[in-house]
Every structure is written in structure tokens, then in C-alpha cells.
Amino acid sequence: MPGIQQSSYVIIGAGIHGLSTAYHLALELKSRGKGSGADILVLDKTGIGAGASGIACGVIRNNYFQSAMRELMAHSVSVWESDPKAYSYHPVGYMQISSESMHDDVASIYQQQQAIGYESIFIEGRNECREYMLNIFHDWQAQGITSVLHEKAGGYANNSKALEGLATKAEAEGVRIVGGVAVTGFDRDNAGAVTAVQTDHGNIDCGYLIIAPGPWAKQFWDMLELPGSISVRNPDSGAIATAVPMWVYWSLQEGTLGVDPRLQTTNDGKMPPVIHVDTDAPLLSDIDGSLITDKMWGIYYKPDFHFNGVQGGAAPFIINKPAELVAVDPYGPESSEFIVGEDFSTLWVSALAHCQKRFSGTLPQYKDEPSGGIGAFTPDSFPVFDVFHGNCYMIADSNHGYKMLGVGKLVAEDICGNESSLLEPFRFSRYIEGKLHPVSNSPFPWS
């Protein structure tokens, strides 16, 4: 990092949020006559997309029970759609396919999508859902499905190509992106504001700091001397729970079935929507027919030429290992035992076969390679977008990250003085104020 000792804006993290913020901040500064991309420096300890963004499943959806998340995602989808080629975005749509226990939640999502003008179709009834799905996939066979929410917008993006596209856009505006630089701490003045970023290549003076850390949120939270545990007010009773851990770690279960992606096409030979199934139907092993679970389970999947197969995942699980250890490096050797393994592959491929006959007998083709990883979740499993110490903007996505391309645009506007109503529900103060997001019946913590 020769010669870089100062930057007006320093962004930590060259993933989806860091790069999106850098690009959109460069545009904001230029449009307001307050600077340019040359005033922005992006640092990453490895390089572009080296963390969670580089192996993300890339699904882009608006399927949220929470109105604040739904509005934020509608904004992000519009950003994805603004330049599909640069972002390697595939607008194939998204389907939430559910059993009766999810019906009311999904019906509410549909109603509110209509209220904000987000195009979707809602199918209700066991027979009606089966007929709708058979019109798309001739081998559809999932049991107990009573609702299908088909979002016409959304889809998925090829993660590495999208990040390369973002980096190209940012650098075209003069932004400097520097890899191989590890941040080790911060200098702060008497008022608490950050004055310099300490790195393994020396200090960098800065006027404003943006942290987009992905699963490394806790490490930077600690560097800023922010509270490791907080108080949270119950929105219904008003009671306050104290000493609630600010960060909880979940093991993310994702993987790829090594088949020709074209195996998963629709009846008319087209690329299908992203499929997401939440159901309480018993899940049986595709190997021997034994019971895997009779509890609520969920999976998502899509054909993906970036991953060269059918890629997707299942609901994550909380890690009981001490957070101090797994927090060292969510993608390092100490986290390897939590990354996708035999139990996940059997569950996921059996679930694929439960949904579509074409996947029966494909377990031997599961690709044994790194995927998933560790996610750092907030107390309510939703993001925190807020300013701390006066000049430090924390983008803590609580593992909602990749799909939220538009957050960087809103953060850039926020920094330049145009506060966004879309970000307001995600301020840190919501915990003590009891302004928490509602919770659905989905098995996924981010729903």
C-alpha cells in the first residue's frame, strides 16, 4: 500500500456492501460537487469477494414477512435491474412454496407486495398449487403444499461477476481498491471519532469510516469498543431483557449438486425461478427411505452456471462453539467443521428429490467443496445500518447481505446528508426502543 497515508473516506471490506457503497458514494460526491471517487479508499485483507460475497448463493428476492425488509428489497431489486449485464443479474423470479403452517404469513407477504406495486402471483389450495407447479415442472411431487407465492421480479446473480462489475464501476469513478491489507485497529480523538485506520501496512488518516464486514462484524464491533451485550425491549410487553449477546453465530448450510445446470429447466426449456420450499411434510432419505425429520424444514435451489450445477441451501443452525474461536476467521480452518458436510448433503439432496423426481438418486453427484461458512447475526437476526462515534458507518447485514445491492446506494445518500426512510427501521436504537421486526413461522432465522 505504498504512498497511501490519508483518504477522506475509508471503506473496510471489498464485498457487496463495501463495493456498492464505494461506487454510489463516488456518484453522490460528484453530483453534489463535494468530491469524487478519488476521495474513497476500499481496503480488504484479501481482495474483492474473498469473504461471504464470493461464495454467496446470489439469490435476490423480496420474500419477507417484515414490511421494512420488503421495501428495502424492492429498492435493491431496482438497483439490480438498473444494469443486469454489469451485475450478471438473471431476472428469473422467485417462488415461495409452503405448507399450511406458513399460509397466513405468505398471504400477508403477497398482500403487502401488491400494496407497494411489487409484481407477484399467489396461489392457494393443495390441488391448485400442485397444478400450478406441474405446469412449470412436470415432475413436481412435493407433499402438503397449500400456497405458492410466485414473485415475477428478482432471481439471482453470479456472485463473482457481479462483484467484478461493481469494482469496475467504482474504479471508473476513481475509487482505489486495495487488497492484502489487514485492519488491526483505530485511532480515535477525545470525542470518540475515528481519526485513523491502523493496518498491517501502517496507519491511514481518514475523515469518515465505513465498515462493511460481513461475518467479521463482531471483530470490528469490538475494535470500536461497542457493547458486546445489549438491552432489548419486548415490543409487546415492554419488558427489557438485559445482557443479550449482540452477536450470535450460525453455520450456513449451502452446497452444489454437480449436475448439468440444464437438468433444472422448466417444461418449456427455460431457466426456472429460484425455488424455496418451507414445509412440515415428513422428509425421507432418498437413499434408504428412513426419516430425516418430521419437523418444519426448508430449502432453496436454482441452476447456476457459476457454480456449475444446481446450487442452494437449507436452514442454518446455531453454533455452540465459543464465539471467540469461530470469530477469528469465519472461512478459516477453525470453522471448517461447521461448513457443509455429509448430514447436510443427505438432507438437501433428499429434499430436492422430495420436490422433484429428477433429483432422485443424485446424491453421489453432490460436490464436496467449501460452501456456506459462518454468519454473524444480530439479536433479532436483521441488519444494523447506523453511525457510531460520529463518523463511523457500520453496515452489519446479519447475513442478508448479497441480495441487498441497493443498501450501498442508500448508505451513500445517508452519509451525504439525505437520510433514507428505508434505513430508519434498521438503526441500532430499535433494540432498546422495542421497535423490532415481526417474526414469521419460517425455519429460516432471517425470515
Q: How many C-beta neighbours within 10 Å does residue 128 have?
A: 14
Q: Which residues pair with 277 in a beta bridge?
A: 97, 299
- The enclosing H or E element of 185 equals strand 183-188
Q: What are phi and psi of 60, to 5 degrees?
A: -125, 115
Domain ranges of the chain: 1-58+158-227+383-433
Q: Which residues pair with 108 in a beta bridge?
A: none
Give pLDDT, residue 322.
55
363 neighbors 346 (Cβ within 8 angstroms): yes
CATH fold of 1-58+158-227+383-433: FAD/NAD(P)-binding domain (3.50.50)
User: Could you please report the per-residue DSSP string of 76-122?
Assistant: HHHHHHH-TTTTTEE---EEEEEEGGGHHHHHHHHHHHHHTT--EEE
Q: Which of 400, 415, 347, 290 is nearest to 24 (CA)?
A: 415
Q: Which of 197, 203, 250, 242 is nearest to 223 (CA)?
A: 197
363 neighbors 345 (Cβ within 8 angstroms): yes
pTM for this model (two decimals): 0.90
Q: How many C-beta neighbours within 10 Å does residue 368 have?
A: 12
Give pLDDT, residue 401.
80
What are the distances in angstroms from CA 437 to CA 68, 344, 380, 433? 8, 29, 8, 12
Q: Which of 442, 417, 286, 268 is nearest to 356 (CA)?
A: 286
Give pLDDT, residue 341.
45
Over the Cα atoms of the chain, what is R_g? 22
Q: Which of 363, 217, 274 is nearest to 58 (CA)?
A: 274
| Residues of the chain under the 70 pLDDT cut | 1-3, 320-342, 369-372, 444-447
DSSP secondary structure code for residue 139 in this structure: T
Q: Which three cell numbers stand for residue 412?
A: 451513500
